[in-house]
Structure 1
Amino acid sequence: MSTPETVSADESVDRWADVRDLPPSAKLVAKVLEYNDTLTQSELADETLLPPRTVRYALSRLEDADVVDSRFSFSDARKRLYSLKI
């Protein structure tokens, strides 16, 4: 019989299965989104210290893997807000 800790650890590993084969930049962006609920692309670039172009590429890979949600910002419609789905 599994303990609650084992179940949560297994669920955590399964959640990240879609991210495992992605580039390191995408993994870093996903991890930052895990700790911060919702961020813009520029905020992600600031938090990860990655160039904006790399963050754009990472987000596109995460969106292709269907692990990131994006929506328009209500305060500034030019920006998109990203959050982790897993």
Structure 2
Amino acid sequence: MSATTEKSTSDTPMSDPEFRDRLRELPPSAKLVATVLDGSSPLSQGQLAEESLLPDRTVRYALNRLEEEDLVESRYSFHDARKQVYFLAN
């Protein structure tokens, strides 16, 4: 097992210094949403609200800010095509 072929659990976007520098300038709600997504993703907006204990409106604002900075990406859910799920950009 070489370190170059195995992906470490610390190789998440949150461990990237550039990612963290861009995140540092964002509001606390965006930082919390990013932290929740780092722990378990992809998640829907409703799931993010539930996990972060933030109101839906605040989660939407945080996701918009994260998307503006290209820190979060989204796709349609495989389980429910009416919903989008979010995950940290690599």
Match of 1:81 in 2: 85
Identity fraction in percent: 55
User: Which amino acid in the other structure matches residue 17 of structure 2?
Assistant: V
Extract structure 1 runs of 4+ deviating beyond 4 A: none
In the TM superposition, 1:1-86 aligns within 5 A as 12-86=16-90
**TM-score after normalising by structure 1:** 0.82
Q: What is the Cα-based RMSD across aligned positions, in Å?
A: 1.5
Q: Can you give the 5+ residue segments of structure 2 that lack an aligned partner in the other structure?
A: 1-10
Task: Please state whether the residue corresponding to 1:19 is helix, strand or coil.
Answer: helix
Structure 1: gaps spanning 5 or more residues = 1-7
Deviation readout 1:32-73 (Å, 9 max, x if unpaired)? 101112111000000000000000000000000000010011
> TM-score, normalised on structure 2?
0.79
Deviation at 1:18, TM superposition (A): 1.2
Give the drift of 1:14: 2.4
Query: Number of aligned pairs?
Result: 77
